[in-house]
Amino acid sequence: MKFKKSLAKVVAAVSLAFAGFVAVNTVNTQNNTVQAASKTSQSNKVVSLAKKQVGKRYVYGATGPNAFDCSGLTSYVYSHAIGKYISRTTYGQVYQGKTVKVSTASLKKGDLLFWGSKSSPYHVGIYVGGGQYVHAATPSQGVRKQYLSSYFWPSTAKRII
Cβ-based neighbour number of residue 126 at 10 Å: 28
For the chain, give every domain's residue range: 33-159
Report residue 48: phi and psi, to 5°. -60, -45
| Catalytic option among 45, 56, 109, 123 | 123
More confident residue, 5 or 50: 50
Q: What is the 3 state secondary structure string of 79-103?
A: HHHHCCCCCCCHHHHCCCCEEECCC
Task: Quickly state the pLDDT bin for 22 (edges 50, 70, 90).
Answer: very low
Q: How confident is the model at residue 119 (pLDDT cuts 50, 70, 90)?
A: confident
Q: One of 46, 49, 67, 70 is an active-site residue; which one?
A: 70
The percent helix, strand, coil of the chain (3-state, each to 5) is: 45, 25, 30
Catalytic residue among 135, 136, 148, 158: 135
On whether the CB atoms of residues 90 and 61 are closer than 8 A, the answer is no
Residue 18 annotated to the active site: no
Fold type of domain 33-159: endopeptidase fold (from Nostoc punctiforme) (3.90.1720)
Active site residue 135: yes
Is the Cβ–Cβ distance between 76 and 64 less than 8 Å? yes
Amino acid at position 132, single letter: Q
- Name the strand (E) or helix (H) holding 112: strand 112-117
Model confidence at 16, in pLDDT bands (50, 70, 90)?
very low
Q: Give pTM, 2 decimals.
A: 0.78
pLDDT-derived band at 105, boundaries 50, 70, 90: very high
d(CA 119, CA 78): 23
Mean pLDDT lowest among 17-26, 61-70, 88-97: 17-26
Is 113 labeled as catalytic in the residue annotation? no
